[in-house]
Structure 1
């Protein structure tokens, strides 16, 4: 199937944002006189959002105690939105291939607008995406299909003719519920013991290279 559009999840799928999340946690812990944490548990939590990241950083604290830290962390993250974040190596070539073929691409994320648009601008992606849908633009976020269908409306395409690529079970569920062809991104932020095959996507791609090779067969 030649797609009408290809939509991507943001954190852990299109952009490797975990280094900036980890840097922010490291700054916070240093300012509080606490020892640094290993990178892996923070990276694994990024796709689940800031609450999961702070829970990974402070598992000993309850939700009420960690909330002020989360808010301070988000302010700091906004100030350092793209210090270390980059498009996953090889994916920009895939975006260029889509653009060369006249195929729209976009982003559907559970990340708020406050962080999404400055990040995309810093990476030079803001003017290239045909549609960007953030968590605060919809009443129900992924895995609900609402943001997926809004992205299709903005791009002027039919969902059944689109592909959605994501690194979390909620991404695959959202794509499936929207009648899109789904691709599991194994290069993303899988938790320990998690298998992308469990998500039952239409296509499993362990690496960006796998995805790029598969994508070329659809163009």
Structure 2
């Protein structure tokens, strides 16, 4: 991983993980989880304990909230009920992370395409992205069930590149989980860790093998070559 000042890359597309990278979805997921706990006669869990686990997905949240293994008889029913509750409250508080909108606007102005690659299923991803007015702007939206394999497999990222019309080596993938970085590296992309997301309790995200880390969305432009002539000088 690079240290010190970033060395900008001549990328022609930036792909984002959804939860904890492009969107701050933790408030609504925490709300749904505590609604489920209330249905089960349990007290709410602190938001600060739920937030770091959001990027791990619904199974991890159910395991944490109910101290259950996936093999438990009631596990799948609880997980499905959680997702139903979450769908009902999908955009209650969810927003684009503060500082991300200017980054998207700058990418669009520079004709650097951007898109989403998430493990979230399409029946949740699509209405969420549409509700926030991002669907028509994104060059691609790839969900966890769009391709046969999910991250950390690189297949979703390859698919996103095809949709965006950009080769993997000219793409940057930004995510807040180890599997994001593993998928990006396997696909031959540059990778950045979104430390402002739900990185969680991992004591050493620098061990994930990413090319860099950003503490806030406003640092992303520092990693990109914005001069079109300079960006196009590298062979596609």
Report the TM-score range of the alignment, normalised by the length of the smaller protein.
over 0.9
Asked if 1:139 corresponds to 2:141, the answer is no
- Residue 21 of structure 2 corresponds to residue 18 of structure 1: no
- Note if 1:3 corresponds to 2:42: no
CA distance in 2, matches of 1:107, 1:193: 24
Match of 1:52 among 50, 60, 69: 60
**Which is greater in Rg?**
2
Matching of residue 30 in structure 1 with residue 38 in structure 2: yes
1:2 and 1:97 map into 2 onto residues whose CA distance is 15
Tell me the TM-score normalized by structure 2.
Answer: 0.88
CA distance in 2, matches of 1:207, 1:93: 12
- Give 5+ residue unaligned stretches, structure 1: none
- State the match for 1:168 in structure 2: 177
Give the Cα separation in 2 of the matches to 1:158 and 1:148. Answer: 10
Conservation of the 8 A alpha-carbon contact between 1:106 and 1:129:
yes
TM-score between the two structures when normalised by the length of structure 1: 0.94
Compute the RMSD of aligned alpha carbons.
1.2
| SS of alignment partner, residue 203 of structure 2 | coil
| 2:69 paired with 1:62 | yes
Aligned: 1:98 with 2:120: no
User: Larger relative CO (CA 8 A, sep 6+): 1 or 2?
Assistant: 2
**Number of residue pairs matched by the alignment:** 216
8 A contact 2:103–2:217 mirrored in 1? no
Structure 2 residue runs without a partner (length 5+):
1-8, 227-236
Rounded Cα–Cα distance in structure 2 between residues aligned with 1:193 and 1:187:
14
Looking at structure 2, the residues matched to 98 and 209 of structure 1 have their Cα atoms a distance apart, in angstroms, of 12
Q: Does 1:205 align with 2:214?
A: yes
CA distance in 1, matches of 2:129, 2:47: 24
Relative to total residues, which structure has the larger helix share, 1 or 2? 1
